[in-house]
Amino acid sequence: MRVDVITIFPDYFGPLSLSLIGKARGSGLLDLEVHDLRTWTSDVHRTVDDTPYGGGPGMVMRPEPWGQALDAVGPGTLIVPSPVGKPFTQADAQALASLDHLIFACGRYEGIDQRVIDDAAARMPVLEVSLGDYVLFGGEVAVIVIMEAITRLLPGVLGNADSLTEESHAAGLLEAPVYTKPASWRDRDVPDVLRSGDHGRIARWRRDQSLLRTAARRPDMMAAYPPSSLDKADRKT
Ligand X SMILES: NC(=O)c1ccno1
> Cα(128)–Cα(86) distance, rounded to whole angstroms?
6
Which window, 24-32, 35-43, 133-141, 215-223, contacts ligand X (CB under 6 A)? Answer: 133-141
Q: How many CB atoms lie within 10 A of CB 4?
A: 21
How many angstroms separate the CA atoms of 132 and 145, rounded?
12
Residue type at 237 in one-letter notation: T
Residue in 82, 79, 106 with CA at minimum distance from that of residue 6:
106
Instruction: List the one residue from 142, 147, 150, 157 that touches ligand X (CB under 6 A).
Output: 142
| Contact between 152 and 158 (Cβ < 8 Å) | yes
- The residue range among 5-13, 47-55, 136-144, 199-207 that interacts with ligand X, by the rule CB under 6 A, is 136-144
At its nearest, how many Å lie between ligand X and the CB of residue 139? 5
Does residue 84 belong to the site contacting ligand X (CB under 6 A)? Answer: no
Question: By three-state DSSP, how is residue 105 classified?
Answer: strand
Min separation Cβ 51 and ligand X, Å: 21
Q: Which of residues 61, 112, 126, 131 is near ligand X by CB under 6 A?
A: 131
Cβ atoms within 10 Å of 206's Cβ, excluding its own = 17
Q: How far is the CB of 82 from ligand X (least distance, A)?
A: 5
Decide: is 127 part of the binding site for ligand X (CB under 6 A): no
- Which residues form the interface with ligand X (CB under 6 A)? 81-83, 130-132, 134-136, 139, 142
